[in-house]
Structure 1
Amino acid sequence: MTSREDAGAVVAPSEYVGRYPILDTAREQVLDRGEGLSEAQILEILRLPDEAIPEALQLAHEVRLKHCGEDVEVEGIISIKTGGCPEDCHFCSQSGLFDSPVRGVWLDIPELVKAAKETAATGATEFCIVAAVRGPDVKLMNQIKFAIDRITAEVEINIACSLGMLTQRQVDQLTEWGVHRYNHNLETARSYFPEVVTTHSYEERLETCRMVKDAGMELCCGALIGMGETVEQRAELAAQLAALEPDEVPLNFLNPRPGTPLENQPIMDGKDALRAIAAFRLAMPRTVLRYAGGRELTLGDLGTRDGLLGGINAVIVGNYLTTLGRPATQDLNLLVELNMPIRELQKSL
């Protein structure tokens, strides 16, 4: 793959126009009219030959520049409660049902405040507090309230949360406390979900997502691809996410964890990951599409660059919940190199 020197400039239509009809259709439908691709059309993108990937990424990049702008949103994440989760998500080493090396750990409030300050110092505008739980109990909700109060008193940054499935009362509380965005991933397509999770349903996840949106919080709802799903199910997931209309979609690639049922799942091919990046952008032209876990393993340095020039407009910097990421400076320097400005903090009045 090749990258352009100035990522902020829209280029002329590609020399490949006419070779791949789905890209011609997408240029008119998505770029010109702002209408996302249908599930059948997404599948065509995911089935493009290798030689068409640069064209698809270029088009996805033009779409994101036109419909999202040129800036990139930077976020840091931290876990207030790690491990010991009662759910059986087959990809997750935080499940207490698997023989993984991750054990239950709680983070205290001063550590959360310190992490928020360090995150803000990178230029990030979003700080996400995560807990490995089915859903928060009263104790955890009280801790979250205290953490939000302490962080907002000392750091200028938007606070997001990812605390599992919520009740309506909990949604209302988080909204009242000023949580900017709530993360609750669909992870995979409805048709494949029972192969990945058995302790709760796809519909239960959807219900939390809908309550979050109805309450006025921004919804962050992402995907984890490379878990053994078919390419058809990958297209199904992109279409289901588009129908939900989340504000942000984190795009994760499976990093098989020891002790989990998916520990022996092969690493996703980098070319398939790039096809997915282009397809998800063309399915959701106005959504924040964020690089999340597994990109370092699946794409490496060159692939990471290609994705930023292929529809991605947000990144998580630093480490993830149970896996190591790239140093924050490495991603920040790459954004500078690609002339991609970091989105500035916009506090509500």
Structure 2
Amino acid sequence: MTDILTTARTRVLDEGQGLDYDDLIKVLDLPDDRIPDLLALAHEVRVKWCGEEVEMEGIVSLKTGGCPEDCHFCSQSGLFESPVRSTKLDIAQLIEQARQTAKTGASEFCIVAAVKGPDEALMSQLEDAVQQIYANVDGIDVAVSVGILTPEQVARLKAVGVHRYNHNLETARSYFPEVVTTHTWEERRETMLMIKDAGIEVCCGGIIGMGETPEQRAEFAVQLAELDPHEVPLNFLDPRPGTPFGHMEVMDGKDALRAIGMFRLAMPATTLRFAGGRELTLGDMGVEQGLTGGINGIIVGNYLTTLGRPAEQDMDMMDRMRLPIKVLSRSV
């Protein structure tokens, strides 16, 4: 029987084709002593098909908390007894956050709102915010994440220059009903198909370690690959008090590393971005392993409702590892 990493070397590294579901299952079945081999191959793949640069991104929440949806991992839901309460930022605060993000070396600034989808007031504020950021902050692209969209809203975001749109599938289609009941997986996917058709870059990922099986992780990777996303944010569950998933254990670090390698071998040319939960799940050593094991993007600073690492710490890590940072069309 041909070793799965030998198969992957030919199909993914040499030919640039992602592995299929059956082969991704084999990747997740690799024993612990093969994890270094998996990560080494995943790194080769990302360097060949994505380049050496690592893309840094900052995120800020325009509207935090009070969301009407019941995503079981999220402390921003207004349905749970969690500590996050509703807050909003104004345009001036967003511009300053974008300016500070640009100073860290990040090339992407993402505006996020805790909503099922934007109402007219939020859409108008977003349009103003995006235009004001481009007018006042150099060296940054603006991304947006405000939930499920209509075709008209997609066109409006395109018109003001939104560079990338994030809306995560969150998990495999087969597991989604265990995670969210107030809207469907299909609604999320339809929004991203409209985004893709409009020519806005697709940012679509999710969270692993929410109780899904390895088979469902492989299913999830295949379903993401079908969207051909520019970026896949890879989150690891950080169990939040007061949420239905608050009792879950943190994902095993070795399983997380297998998953990183698996996602890279499923999508060789996609930006695979470390997002929430990386510090808790992997620690400093594991984060560095991920950056030499297929990851080529990082969210710097804090996340939406959880603390990350200081941006300076990530910058120091990148310098120590001699990883070049992507700044729009050039690297430093």
User: With structure 1 as the length reference, what TM-score do the two structures score?
Assistant: 0.93
Give the aligned residue type for 1:325: G
Matches within 5 A, 1:1-349: 21-156=3-138, 157-346=140-329
Give the aligned residue type for 2:85: R
Query: What SS is found at the alignment partner of 1:75?
Result: strand
Gaps of 5+ in 1: 1-17
Query: What SS is found at the alignment partner of 1:251?
Result: strand
Note the alpha carbon deviations across 1:229-254, whole angstroms, 9 max, x for none: 00100010001101111110000000
Query: What SS is found at the alignment partner of 1:128?
Result: strand
Structure 1 moving runs of 4+ over 2 Å: none
Note the alpha carbon deviations across 1:242-288, whole angstroms, 9 max, x for none: 11111100000000001000000000000000000000000000000
How far apart, in 1, do the equivalents of 2:217 and 2:248 lie?
16
Give the aligned residue type for 2:17: E
How far apart, in 1, do the equivalents of 2:49 and 2:328 lie?
20
How far apart, in 2, do the equivalents of 1:223 and 1:274 lie?
16
How far apart, in 2, do the equivalents of 1:40 and 1:223 lie?
21
Query: What SS is found at the alignment partner of 1:114?
Result: helix
Q: Which moved more, 1:107-116 or 1:316-325?
A: 107-116
Query: What SS is found at the alignment partner of 2:112?
Result: strand
Query: What SS is found at the alignment partner of 1:161?
Result: strand
Note the alpha carbon deviations across 1:142-201, whole angstroms, 9 max, x for none: 111111121111102100000000000000000000000000000100000000000000
Shift of 1:309: 0.3
How far apart, in 2, do the equivalents of 1:166 and 1:181 lie?
14
Query: What SS is found at the alignment partner of 1:343?
Result: strand
Give the aligned residue type for 1:210: L
Query: What SS is found at the alignment partner of 2:326?
Result: coil
Shift of 1:346: 3.5
How far apart, in 2, do the equivalents of 1:97 and 1:26 lie?
44
Shift of 1:330: 1.0
Query: What SS is found at the alignment partner of 1:250?
Result: strand
How far apart, in 2, do the equivalents of 1:90 and 1:218 lie?
27
Give the aligned residue type for 2:154: V
How far apart, in 1, do the equivalents of 2:168 and 2:277 lie?
15
How far apart, in 2, do the equivalents of 1:223 and 1:78 lie?
18
Determine the structure 2 residue equivalent to 1:4. Answer: none
Determine the structure 2 residue equivalent to 1:8. Answer: none
Give the aligned residue type for 1:173: R
**Identity among equivalent pairs (%):** 65
User: With structure 2 as the length reference, what TM-score do the two structures score?
Assistant: 0.98
How far apart, in 1, do the equivalents of 2:167 and 2:252 lie?
26
Query: What SS is found at the alignment partner of 2:294?
Result: coil
How far apart, in 1, do the equivalents of 2:100 and 2:219 lie?
38
How far apart, in 2, do the equivalents of 1:224 and 1:39 lie?
18
How far apart, in 2, do the equivalents of 1:149 and 1:178 lie?
8
Note the alpha carbon deviations across 1:105-129, whole angstroms, 9 max, x for none: 0111111111000000011100000
Give the aligned residue type for 2:196: K
Give the aligned residue type for 2:284: D
How far apart, in 1, do the equivalents of 2:132 and 2:270 lie?
30
How far apart, in 2, do the equivalents of 1:345 and 1:313 lie?
14
How far apart, in 2, do the equivalents of 1:171 and 1:226 lie?
31
How far apart, in 2, do the equivalents of 1:30 and 1:147 lie?
40
How far apart, in 1, do the equivalents of 2:23 and 2:314 lie?
32
How far apart, in 2, do the equivalents of 1:209 and 1:146 lie?
23
Aligned length: 329
How far apart, in 2, do the equivalents of 1:223 and 1:47 lie?
21
How far apart, in 1, do the equivalents of 2:117 and 2:278 lie?
27
